[in-house]
Amino acid sequence: MDIKQLKFLDALAQEEHFGRAASRCHVSQPTLSLRIRQLEEELGVPLIYRGNRFESLTPEGQRVLAWARRLLANYDGLYQDVALLRGHLSGRLRLGAVPSALAFAARLTAPFLNDYGQVTAISKSMSADEIEQGLEGFSLDVGISYLSRSLSDTVCTLPLYQEGYVALLPQHEYFTDRESISWCEVATLPLCLLTKGMHNRQIIEDVFAEVGCHPDILFESNSILTLYTHVQNGHWATIAPNFHARLLGVPDGVRALPLTHPELLQPVGLIWRDMQPLSPLVEAFKQVAITHSANIEKLLAT
């Protein structure tokens, strides 16, 4: 068994296609297939269900994949640590962020990439559950998610900011003489919200249940920007995180009203796997987050 075989298995699990996995690993498809068969022979168990094409991993393959990803994470961490000893941190940081925190993520990734010129990063919009699964499965290095939800004992957290909420309304419709709006009042409007399964949606539904209101939800999306454009181009309203609206600005033809009764705050923070030694990339990103968290609180206070 060697590290390349584990990389091939990981790539195949992600791509679910032999050709794409081979291309991702910069080898020919026969080479990738042969090396995975050799791994199966060495371990004495089938790892893949094969037909005319890749079908899925076997239960044994899923178990081996979990160990492979753990080993690959430690392998990458070793190289990052040695690179850091030479004074040049390198590698690729994989970040997952809930949709409401995507705009905020740039407040951390931009200075992080400026500080470490040989590092690259990828940021993905994911649900809170997907982020935690990604951390546990070693497909993510860090996440930005809600800290109010029940998190696994294997996850560490760093609070970053408190998320409040505003109603986004068409400029010349609904409560035009108001400077704020209650949750019960916004429930009377035609709403577009994030899809079910997003923790942000669950927070909103919990508030409506708490105040005894039943909103009329006409449109759903997993993209906050899509919700913004629906408010801008139609007669809908939406509920947005105040920090998201402040960073990106309110679109033309739209106005933001703070939501009251209740005034809700949800803690959002950085999360990562609790493992020692900690990946140098994760440690460096965590330190950037600590450094910039004070500036974030000042921005929210203005």
Regarding beta strands 254-260 and 181-182, do their DSSP bridges make them parallel or antiparallel, or are they unpaired? Answer: parallel
Could you tell me if residue 80 is inside a domain? no
Say which CATH number the domain at 57 has. 1.10.10.10
Query: Helix crossing, 3-15 with 29-43: angle to 10°?
Result: 110
- Domains in the chain: how many in total? 3
| Residues 224, 194 contacting (CB under 8 angstroms) | yes
Sheet of 165-170, strand order: 181-182, 254-260, 165-170, 238-241
User: Same domain, yes or no, for 131 and 176?
Assistant: no
Q: Lowest-confidence range among 12-21, 179-188, 243-252?
A: 243-252
Could you tell me if residue 51 is inside a domain? yes
User: Same domain, yes or no, for 153 and 169?
Assistant: no
User: Same domain, yes or no, for 28 and 174?
Assistant: no
User: Same domain, yes or no, for 170 and 258?
Assistant: yes
User: Rounded distance, CA 271 to CA 95, Å?
Assistant: 10
Give the list of residues 6+ apart from residue 246 with CB closer than 8 angstroms, or none: 299, 300
Query: Comparing C-alpha atoms, which of 106, 96, 103 is closest to residue 140?
Result: 96
pLDDT at 193: 93
User: Rounded distance, CA 207 to CA 204, Å?
Assistant: 5
Say which CATH number the domain at 122 has. 3.40.190.10
Could you tell me if residue 276 is inside a domain? yes
Would the pLDDT of 302 be above 60? Answer: no
Please report which confidence band the pLDDT of residue 238 belongs to, taking 50, 70 and 90 as the band edges: very high
Would the pLDDT of 300 be above 70? Answer: no
User: Same domain, yes or no, for 235 and 273?
Assistant: no
Kindly write down the DSSP assignment for every residue of 160-171, as one continuous string.
Answer: EEEE-EEEEEET
Retrieve residue 172's tokens: 């010349």
pLDDT at 70: 82
Could you tell me if residue 148 is inside a domain? yes
Could you tell me if residue 81 is inside a domain? no
User: Same domain, yes or no, for 251 and 113?
Assistant: no
Task: State the residue range of the domain holding 9.
Answer: 3-73
